[in-house]
Amino acid sequence: MATPSRHALDVLTRMLKDTSITTLAKRLRPRIPNEHDPLPHGIPGKGDYSSEAMHARYKALSEHGIATCELARHLVDPASLQGNIEHFIGMIQIPVGVIGPLRINGIAAHGDFFIPMATSEGALVASYDRGAKAVSLAGGVTVACIREVVTRAPCFVFTSMIDAGIFLAEAIPLFDVLADVVRRTSRYCVLKDIRTTLAGKELFLHFDFSTGDAAGQNMVTLATEAVCRALLSKTSITPERWYIEGNMSGDKKATGLAFTSVRGKKVVADITVPKDIVREVLLATPEEIHRYWEVAVVGGLQSASTGMQGHYANALAALFMACGQDVACIGEAAVGVTRMDVTREGDLYTSVTLPNLIVGTVGGGTHLPTARECLGMLGCVGEGTASKFAEICAAVTLAGELSICAALAKGHFSQAHATLGRKGGITLQ
């Protein structure tokens, strides 16, 4: 992307502060390790999950003048973290707050829930608690997990479009064979569909899997590897090369393709909040909140936003960190659509649609002590609870959308952060 000349001059001025261009250029050149400028010794105990290896790494960092005294080392046996982390040196601490009760009327999640949220952002928990109060007094959020698919999209590169077409023609009839290959990689992973994208001599195959109660990222990777190798052994055309992921699945990034279909769990939630509750709890009128939502849609369109929503990432990141989810999946999970309207009776209708919720209640970090405890608060420990957790995520997200839109509509947003988001708080004049 082009940089305006004035901006380029500002950047150059900052870069050259207290130095010359020659000195700066020398500083930025590569430094090949040698006897005069050697690399420090590497991290010890690689591949070793013992307590002794953890302490060796701690000692090595100390010798380099790096202090890690505040990292907790007593909360978990390092050996239990195999599969979750390498080169373990300790656990970080993130504050966890709780909101609720949040009344949810879902297919899988049905009841009144107290929700753990991990964050260091002041005002966030209070805002979601306010939204939870409003929707609970209104009878609760209606929510449904309507589809579950985890996608991996390998790419096969051929010498010509003709070869790619022949390979595709031979691959499609092999669905049942490939489904059997997938079953042999995991008792939970099931091949649901194969979608195709042909771009000249490059063929992308979109494998859609269901993964039970696991988020399933590793599961589908291993299954895709097995499927690709089976395809190579059963087709007459051999690609020049192939890649386990062609960057088309939407893994951990916001994409239009995943937004218009589904990757993970697609969850829809809605509620109509009576105007009296909107005024008493959210301190705004339905009309004021709806008017702000209209402005937000216009702003989102002009910024080319994928989806249209306020701040799904706040709810999901706080839930993901508390409950042992892969936080990097926020890149795709925090995409969706918030819809608001004023009913004929003057009440406020709100819905959220999240097409890319990558969540699980088994595997990954869900077995870690604090994550398991937070999942336990929600009744989402173990098999048979992933859809329930996804519906809870959507309900919390909706509560947050109501609260932030009300704050922005009435001009309370800045003061809330000044009061709750800073030590001691300040009053804006």
Q: Give the C-alpha separation, 66 to 211, whole Å.
A: 41
* DSSP single-letter state for residue 80: G
Residues known to be catalytic: 121, 326, 417
Q: Give the C-alpha separation, 392 to 378, whole Å.
A: 8
Please state the separation of Cα 330 from the chain's center in Å: 2
What are the structure tokens assigned to 326, written together? 């892969």
What are the structure tokens assigned to 279, written together? 């005024």
Where does residue 91 rank: exposed (0-12), middle (13-18), buried (19+ CB within 10 A)?
middle
Q: Give the C-alpha separation, 265 to 214, whole Å.
A: 11
Q: Give the length of the chain.
A: 429
154 near 228, Cβ under 8 Å? yes
Q: Give the C-alpha separation, 347 to 327, whole Å.
A: 35
* DSSP single-letter state for residue 404: H
CA distances from 99 to 83, 211, 277, 339, 405 (A): 31, 30, 18, 23, 18
Q: Give the C-alpha separation, 344 to 347, whole Å.
A: 7
370 near 116, Cβ under 8 Å? no
175 near 194, Cβ under 8 Å? yes
What are the structure tokens assigned to 227, written together? 């499927």
**Long-range Cβ contacts of 301-309 (<8 Å, 24+ apart):** 306/254, 306/255, 306/256, 306/259, 306/335, 307/254, 307/259, 307/335, 307/336, 307/337, 308/337, 308/338, 309/334, 309/335, 309/336, 309/337, 309/338, 309/352, 309/401
Residues with Cβ < 8 Å from 406, sequence gap 6 or more?
278, 282, 283, 284, 288, 289, 412
Q: Give the C-alpha separation, 111 to 399, whole Å.
A: 15
Q: Give the C-alpha separation, 55 to 90, whole Å.
A: 10
